[in-house]
Homo-oligomer: A and B are copies of this chain.
Amino acid sequence: MSKSSESESGMAGLILKLSCADAHGIVARISNYIADFQGNLRELNQFSDQEQGKFFARFEIETENLAVPVEDFISNFNEIGDSLKAEWHFRELPYKMKTAILVTKTDHCLNELLAKAEIGELPIEITSIIANRSSCEHIAKRYDLPFHLIEMDGEAKEAGFLKIADILKAEEVELTVLARFMQILPEWMCQQLSGNIINIHHSFLPAFIGANPYRQAYARGVKLIGATCHYVTSDLDAGPIIEQEVARVQHHHTPQDLMRLGRNCERNALARGIRYHVQDRTIIDNNRAIVFEG
Contact = CB atoms under 8 A, between A and B. Distances in A.
Secondary structure call for the A interface: mixed
A85 interface: no
Contacts of A222: 204-206, 241, 244
A204 to B, nearest CB: 6
Nearest to A271: B264
Interface stretch (A31-39, A73-81, A95-103, A167-175): A31-39
A interface, how many residues as a size bin?
35 or more
Nearest to A253: B294
Interface stretch (A12-20, A40-48, A146-154, A178-186): A40-48
Contacts of A40: 24
Contact of A28 (B31, B221, B250, B268): B31
Given A35-B28, A205-B207, A6 B256 contact: yes
25 contacts: A7-B256, A25-B35, A28-B32, A28-B35, A29-B35, A32-B32, A41-B46, A41-B48, A42-B48, A43-B252, A44-B46, A51-B254, A108-B119, A204-B207, A206-B207, A220-B241, A220-B287, A220-B288, A221-B240, A221-B287, A223-B243, A223-B244, A224-B244, A246-B246, A251-B291
Given A28-B28, A222-B241, 13 more contacts: A7-B256, A24-B38, A25-B32, A27-B27, A28-B34, A47-B252, A111-B111, A221-B240, A221-B287, A223-B243, A223-B244, A250-B291, A264-B268
